[in-house]
Structure formats: structure tokens, C-alpha cells
């Protein structure tokens, strides 16, 4: 078959996916793959969900697209109402886009415009964290702290500096309590603000549970509260990027609800459309919207497909399923079972250093030496071998290598559909175990 499409990998032809069936994807040879990572934490309802399909057919029969420069739609308005009702305190405006990078990009531009509108034009810097990913467009890439992604595109458009990722497995000192570590990690923000000059900083960006770049590393208790206080003290906006960890993945519709923190802005995507439509959203506190509305009256941003009725209809149907089937409590239950199964399988494994996460968002970090936590040599590309072995065995998981500086080890992220059954948890762990054993051999 001719193959004119190019994606990330230029190394050869990928299998052709032809169907989805619950937690499984099926290729053109009939092989079934358990979708243990939803691609990248996208397919929270699994594939071919009947309710979402019916909702999309209905929406298509009514209206597919009307440009947001002229119209709103019932589907988009309904979605915004539902997101605001479920969001942390103070969030009351929604900006609908088509994915995660667009949402982060919009957040950075809105933060900049907000400070222009309120007469603090010198605030332009962003502080984020090492080992973070916030998207691939130039602004979002600048926010991310993943050196190998940034390096070839430097100098980047948004001036960003990076602090501790709040990664207790690697950074907590012997004898230091979790709480003390959380505060020490958060206090790096204050030191960085003072170093840069508070009047020049506009936003701090972080994922409550770090996904792709670290493998489901949750903020330790108290960390985000201290971050919130520091942002308030210096008049800096707190942007929580929940593109991967949001929309129920951790067992709460917004991950930060578990941390008891209300950010100024939240970005969501992936699970919002659950793979049925491309959609993302930026949610903001009223004070930010009001400053624009009562100032220039126009947010200097926009995309053709924002607020797309089909995308909004898909997201509404996803929310129907989450609410109607009590999926948040199911995520917590099945997440605990997945955690227990991972610990039973890998708890004593000589090369598994850490097992972590929240809900159905779990990570396993591999190390050469459990005592010293020394990562494997990145040149071994252990993560890539695990991914290939798992795929061969019919399991899709999301492995990533250590960072370029070799600080952290190869890790595997699991983000299965919320509908995962007990027997499928065993299937995932067994296949993953075989893939790791094969890669280490
Ligand atoms: N932020 C985070 C935390 C992400 O994990 C991602 C995607 N992996 C993005 C932003 C970018 O989202 P998208 O790929 O939809 O542009």
C-alpha cells in the first residue's frame, strides 16, 4: 500500500488501525491491542462508545460548524456550563479550542494580555518546572522543561525558567518528611521569582500530576497550596495544565480538586473529547475575563475551529457517560486495583525503582540499581524496547526515556480506559511484565 502520510516516526510503516472495540484497538490483520494508555491518556471511555457515537450522529444531523465569529451553539454553551459547574472555585469562563497545545498557547497569551490590560506590561516571564511538557507549539514548547525537545528550537519565544518538578522519588532527602519536601520544592518558586524580579513574572505553569515527561508523578500533599500562596503573594497567575491528568483520569474531574487548590487558569484536552473529536479548553477565573472585557474588549487570539459544535457534542456525551455511570468512583476503585497489581508484580523487582500515580494514571520507573536509583544508560533505549515488546504482545502503553541529563530513569505510563475490568488489569500487568523482562534480557 502506498504510504504518503508522515507522522513522528519516519522509520517505517505502522499497522493500520481499522476498528475500536471497548478497551481494544484492532488492526487490518485482525490483531487486537489492549489500549493501556489511551494513546496518550485520551481514550478514557474506550473505543466505539455507543452513547458518544449516537450524540455525534445527532449533532451532525443538526449542525456541524458555525464560525464563532458569528454564532455560538447549544452544544458549546452546554459544555461550558457543565465545565464551569464542576471546576474549582472562581473559574467561570471557558475558551474552547481544538487540543492541548492550543489551550496552553491561549493561556499564555491571555495571561500576557491580562497584565497589559491591568497596566502591568512588564510582566512577561513564565516559570515552569524541569521535566515538564505543555505542548509542541512554540509558546507551549517554551513553557515545557524538557531540554531535548527545546534545544533545537532555541531561542524560544516565551522567556521561561524552570524549577523543581516536585518529584519526591528523586529529590526527597533521607529523613526528610514528605511535607517538608513539598514545601522545599514549592519554595523554589519564590526564590526564582525573587531572582527574576517579581514585577517581570506573569505565570507559573505546572501539571498537578506530571504525565508524559515523568510518568504519573503527583504533587505531594501541601505542595500546590504553598505554590498558590506564593503566586498570590507576588501577583502571579497560576496555570494548572490538566491536559493529561484532567477530566477524571485521577478520579476527580479536575485533578487539582484533590489538592484543594483553585488556580487562575486550567487547561484541559485529551479526555475531554476522549478521542471522538479533537477538543481542548482553557478555563479561567472571572477576574481575567473581566479585565479583557472591560479593557480592550477583545482577546487577541482565536482559531477557525474553536467552539466546534461536533467537538462540543462529543465532550458533552463524554461527560454524560462519566456522570451517568459513576465513572469517577470507578476510576478510583480500578486505579487502586491497578496500583495493587503493579506493586504485587514489580514491588520487589530489582529494576523497578518507583510505582506511583493517582486513579487510572500510573507510572513505573526503571532503574539500573534500586539502592542508588541510578538510571539505565539512555543509549540502551529501554523504554523503546518495552514499547515494542508490549505492542508485539498486544498492549499499548506509553514508555518514555530518561531526560537528556540522565536524572530520571526510563518510565512507563499507564492510562487505561475508565471501563477497564479486573481481568483486564491482570492482562495489562502480565503483558507489561513480559515486555520489561524481554527488554532487560
Ligand atoms: N500539556 C500536557 C500536560 C500534555 O500532556 C500535552 C500532550 N501530551 C499537551 C499539553 C499538548 O496537547 P496536544 O498534544 O493536544 O497539543
ipTM: 0.99
Q: How far is the CA of 213 from the centre of ligand 1 (A)?
A: 11
Per the CB < 8 A criterion, the answer to whether 189 and 227 are in contact is: yes
CATH fold label, 54-324: 3.40.640
What percent of the chain is predicted at pLDDT more than 90?
91
Q: What is the pLDDT of residue 420?
A: 98
What ligand 1 atom has the least distance to the C-alpha of 207? 3
Mean pLDDT of 151-160: 93
Lowest mean pLDDT among 6-10, 72-76, 256-260: 6-10
C-alpha 280 to ligand 1 mean position (Å): 10
- Residues 197-218, mean pLDDT to the nearest whole number: 96
- The count of C-alpha atoms lying within 13 angstroms of the C-alpha of 89, restricted to the half-sphere facing its C-beta, is 5
Q: Do strands 32-35 and 395-396 pair parallel, antiparallel, or not at all (unpaired)?
A: parallel
User: How many Cβ atoms sit within 10 Å of the Cβ of residue 6?
Assistant: 7
Cβ–ligand 1 distance for 212 under 6 Å, the answer yes
Which of 207, 270, 278, 303 is the pocket-test mutation for ligand 1 (most atoms within 8 Å of CB)? 270
- CA 166/CA 218 separation, integer angstroms: 8
Q: Kindly state if the Cβ of 282 falls inside 6 Å of ligand 1.
A: no
**Mean per-residue pLDDT for 154-167?**
95
Which grid cell is 183? Answer: 514545601
Distance 40 CA to ligand 1 centre (A): 9
**Is the confidence at residue 5, as pLDDT, over 90?**
no
Q: Is ligand 1 within 6 A of the CB of residue 359?
A: no
Q: Reply yes or no on whether the pLDDT at 170 is more than 70.
A: yes
Q: What is the mean pLDDT of residues 371-381?
A: 91
Does 244 sit in the ligand 1 pocket, CB within 6 Å? yes
pLDDT at 46 (0 to 100): 98
C-alpha–C-alpha distance, residues 341 and 416, integer Å: 14
Give the pLDDT confidence of 14-62 residue by residue, as tens digits: 899 999 999 999 999 999 999 999 989 999 999 999 999 999 999 999 9
Cell of 387: 514499547
Mutation test of ligand 1: which of 145, 213, 243 has the most ligand atoms closer than 8 Å to its C-beta? 243
Q: Is 38 in the pocket of ligand 1 (CB under 6 A)?
A: no
Q: Whose CA is nearest to atom 2 of ligand 1?
A: 134
Domains 17-49+326-440 and 54-324 share a fold: no
User: Is the Cβ atom of 357 under 6 angstroms away from ligand 1?
Assistant: no
The dihedrals phi and psi of 238, each to the nearest 5 degrees, come to: -100, 115
In the predicted structure, residue 2 carries a pLDDT above the cut 70: no
The pLDDT assigned to 6 comes to 81
Q: Closest Cα partner for 100 from 263, 218, 271, 265?
A: 271
Spatial CB neighbours of 104, under 8 Å, sequence gap ≥ 6: 134, 135, 137, 139, 140, 143, 205, 239, 241, 243, 267
The pick from 101, 208, 361 for probing ligand 1's pocket by mutation, whose C-beta has the most ligand atoms within 8 angstroms, reads 101
Distance (Å) from CA 211 to ligand 1 centroid: 9
The finding on whether 207 has its CB within 6 A of some atom of ligand 1 is yes
Contacts of 117 (CB under 8 A, 6+ apart): 291, 292, 295, 296
Q: Give residue 197's pLDDT band: very low, low, confident or very high (50, 70, 90).
A: very high
| 95-107 pLDDT tens trace | 999 999 999 999 9
Q: Using pLDDT thresholds of 50, 70 and 90, give the confidence band for residue 338.
A: very high
User: Over the stretch 230-258, which tens digit does the pLDDT of each residue have?
Assistant: 999 999 999 999 999 999 999 999 999 99
| Domain extents in the chain | 17-49+326-440, 54-324
Please report the pLDDT score of residue 388 as a whole number: 96
Short-list 181, 273, 252, CA closest to 219:
181
- CB of 40 closer than 6 A to ligand 1? yes
- Reported as a pLDDT band with limits 50, 70 and 90, residue 404 is low
Domain 17-49+326-440 belongs to what architecture? Alpha-Beta Complex (3.90)
Here the cell at position 224 is 500546590
Q: Which three cell numbers stand for residue 148?
A: 531535548
Say yes or no to pLDDT of 3 above 90: no
Among residues of the chain, what percentage have pLDDT more than 70? 99
Beta-bridged to residue 237, according to DSSP, are 203
pLDDT of 403 reads 63
Q: How far is the CA of 333 from the centre of ligand 1 (A)?
A: 26
Which tens digits make up the pLDDT trace of 282-336?
999 999 999 999 999 999 999 999 999 999 999 999 999 999 999 999 999 999 9
Q: How far is the CA of 102 from the centre of ligand 1 (A)?
A: 9
Q: Please give the mean pLDDT across all residues of the chain.
A: 95
Q: With a threshold of 0.80, does the pTM exceed it? A: yes
Amino acid at each position: 500500500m502506498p504510504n504518503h502520510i508522515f507522522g513522528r516516526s519516519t522509520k517505517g510503516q505502522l499497522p493500520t488501525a481499522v476498528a475500536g472495540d471497548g478497551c481494544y484497538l484492532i488492526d487490518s490483520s485482525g490483531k487486537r491491542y489492549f489500549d493501556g494508555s489511551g494513546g496518550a491518556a485520551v481514550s478514557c471511555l474506550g473505543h466505539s462508545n455507543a452513547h458518544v457515537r449516537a450524540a455525534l450522529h445527532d449533532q451532525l444531523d443538526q449542525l456541524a460548524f458555525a464560525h464563532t465569529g458569528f454564532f455560538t451553539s447549544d452544544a458549546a454553551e452546554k459544555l461550558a456550563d457543565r465545565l464551569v459547574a464542576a471546576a474549582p472555585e472562581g473559574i467561570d469562563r471557558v475558551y474552547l479550542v481544538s487540543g492541548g497545545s492550543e489551550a496552553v498557547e491561549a493561556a499564555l497569551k491571555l495571561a500576557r494580555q491580562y497584565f497589559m490590560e491591568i497596566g502591568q506590561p512588564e510582566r512577561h516571564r513564565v516559570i515552569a518546572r524541569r521535566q515538564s511538557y505543555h505542548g509542541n507549539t512554540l509558546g507551549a514548547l517554551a513553557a515545557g522543561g524538557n531540554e531535548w525537545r527545546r534545544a533545537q528550537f532555541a531561542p524560544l519565544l516565551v522567556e521561561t525558567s524552570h524549577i523543581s518538578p516536585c518529584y519526591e522519588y528523586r529529590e526527597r532527602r533521607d529523613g526528610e518528611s514528605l511535607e517538608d519536601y513539598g514545601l522545599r520544592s514549592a519554595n523554589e518558586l519564590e526564590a526564582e521569582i525573587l531572582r527574576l524580579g517579581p514585577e517581570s513574572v506573569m505565570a507559573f505553569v505546572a501539571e498537578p500530576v506530571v504525565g508524559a515527561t515523568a510518568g504519573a508523578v503527583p504533587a505531594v500533599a501541601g505542595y500546590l497550596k504553598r505554590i498558590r500562596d506564593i503566586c498570590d503573594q507576588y501577583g502571579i497567575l497560576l496555570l494548572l495544565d490538566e491536559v493529561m491528568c484532567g477530566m477524571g483520569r485521577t478520579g476527580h474531574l479536575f485533578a487539582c480538586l484533590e489538592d484543594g487548590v483553585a488556580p487562575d487558569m486550567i487547561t484541559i484536552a485529551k479526555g475531554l473529547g476522549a478521542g471522538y473529536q479533537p477538543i481542548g479548553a482553557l478555563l479561567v477565573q472571572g477576574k481575567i475575563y473581566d479585565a479583557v472585557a472591560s479593557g480592550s474588549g477583545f482577546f487577541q487570539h482565536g482559531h477557525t475551529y474553536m467552539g466546534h459544535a461536533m467537538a462540543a457534542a462529543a465532550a458533552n456525551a463524554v461527560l454524560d457517560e462519566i456522570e451517568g455511570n459513576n465513572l469517577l468512583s470507578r476510576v478510583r476503585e480500578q486505579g487502586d486495583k491497578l496500583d495493587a497489581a503493579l506493586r504485587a508484580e514489580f514491588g520487589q523487582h530489582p529494576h523497578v525503582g518507583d510505582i506511583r500515580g493517582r486513579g487510572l494514571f500510573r507510572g513505573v520507573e526503571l532503574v539500573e540499581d534500586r539502592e542508588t536509583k541510578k538510571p539505565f544508560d539512555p543509549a540502551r533505549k529501554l523504554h523503546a524496547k518495552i514499547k515494542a515488546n508490549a505492542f508485539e504482545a498486544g498492549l499499548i502503553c506509553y514508555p518514555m526515556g530518561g531526560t537528556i541529563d540522565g536524572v530520571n530513569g526510563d518510565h512507563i505510563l499507564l492510562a487505561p480506559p475508565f471501563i477497564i475490568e479486573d481481568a483486564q488489569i491482570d492482562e495489562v500487568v502480565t503483558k507489561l511484565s513480559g515486555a520489561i523482562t524481554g527488554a532487560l534480557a
